[in-house]
Amino acid sequence: MAVLILTLPAVWIHSGTKAFTIIFSIFIVTLLLMIVGKMTADLRRPFHDWQVWIPLLATVGLIAVGWWTRSSGLTPGASPTILDEPLFGTQLKAQGYFALFSLFIANVLWMPVDFSTWQRVASVEGTSQEALDRLRRGTWRVIFESPASWCLGIVLGLIIHAGGFIPAGKDPSEALPSFSTALENGTATGHFAWATGWLYPLFIIACLSIMLSTVDSIISAIAFTADRDLPLISEAKKNRLAPARTWTLIIVVAGLFIYPLLRQVAGANLPTFLYAAYSMQLSLVVIVLLALYNKRIDGRAAFASLLGGFIATGISLYLAIRVADPDAAVLPPVFAVLGAVVGYVLFFRRRALAANTTTTNDAPKT
């Protein structure tokens, strides 16, 4: 956050007041979401979590830097940015309507089917009121903080773009290295040159932390799945960590060999594979939403829904690799959702579901 706040004046100098105001507003809303999320965890003691002070202090710092930028007499720039383009013209056509819809679907439906969220819920033992209250407060916190984490990435991208940190003619995929170089050279902070010495290492540490956090989440998810779901671990060993650790190590090491092999054979890059794997979880969307709304699920249709989503995502991955259009790389979310819906509808059996419901209702109560 400190890096984003202290590099924000570069947007004013390079692109002018409009881009600065838009990015500043998005940043403020993001910080407010984080504050609300952290306070919602326990409204009776909103400041019990010391982490709430991070977005609070960041908000104060952002307002101070914004006020200083506007009142210091800095000459606003006039370089055009994507924010100056008409919304229903260039911006939508640049990505394609279907591609933008796919990205929207991916982000909206991600939270209900996020494996890590459900694993955290499933790892809580006991059904006491206190445990349920903690789960409820934690869920509300995630509802606010998860969108905020996405918005911080948007703010970073807009600052890099509107701050002039990408040299002319350079590929946008090199935005982060260019921004990092500017931080190292002291050209990113402008009038805040005093911060150069510690902003660059802070930014590098933050990037490494994000990557290691993802790796940590993957390992935790694999270990949880191995312990709870793999039939290779007997019930007698369910409470022992050794089998889960062994299978986690096997799966992680296998992945280190499988990905380079797939990349060499299929010719896809890491982002394409990651986005397809990310989208594949959306195959659960029909099952999860029906379960959340207490709808009785047809077992055969549920399995067909999951399988249909997997197959559709695989097809979209093939298209993303083989089709030259870069928009094809963002199609997996829509394919996954459509495959899941089609699979459930095609194999849904109303009579069997009614019979199961009647049997359940007629069962003796204990």
Asked whether residue 304 carries a pLDDT value surpassing 80, the answer given is yes
Residue percentage of the chain with pLDDT more than 90: 7
Examine residue 289 and state whether it is found in any structural domain, yes or no.
yes
Asked whether residue 60 carries a pLDDT value surpassing 90, the answer given is yes
CA torsion angle for 223, 228, 232, 236 (degrees, to 10)? 110
Examine residue 15 and state whether it is found in any structural domain, yes or no.
no
- How confident is the model over 270-295, as a mean pLDDT? 80
Condensed to tens digits (0 to 9), the pLDDT of residues 78-88 reads 888 777 776 66
Confidence bin at 360 (pLDDT 50/70/90) = very low
Q: What's the total number of domains in the chain?
A: 1
Examine residue 326 and state whether it is found in any structural domain, yes or no.
yes
**What is the extent of the structural domain holding 291?**
267-360
Greatest mean pLDDT among 19-23, 169-173, 253-257 lies in: 19-23
Examine residue 308 and state whether it is found in any structural domain, yes or no.
yes
Confidence bin at 365 (pLDDT 50/70/90) = very low
Condensed to tens digits (0 to 9), the pLDDT of residues 127-153 reads 777 777 777 777 777 777 777 777 888
Condensed to tens digits (0 to 9), the pLDDT of residues 87-124 reads 666 556 656 667 777 777 777 777 777 766 776 677 67
Examine residue 115 and state whether it is found in any structural domain, yes or no.
no
Examine residue 181 and state whether it is found in any structural domain, yes or no.
no
Give pLDDT, residue 366.
40
Examine residue 154 and state whether it is found in any structural domain, yes or no.
no
Q: Which residue has the tokens 């359940």?
A: 360
Examine residue 81 and state whether it is found in any structural domain, yes or no.
no
260-277 burial: b if 16+ Cβ within 10 Å, else e: eeeeeeeebeeebbebbe
Residue 208 vs residue 136, higher pLDDT: 208
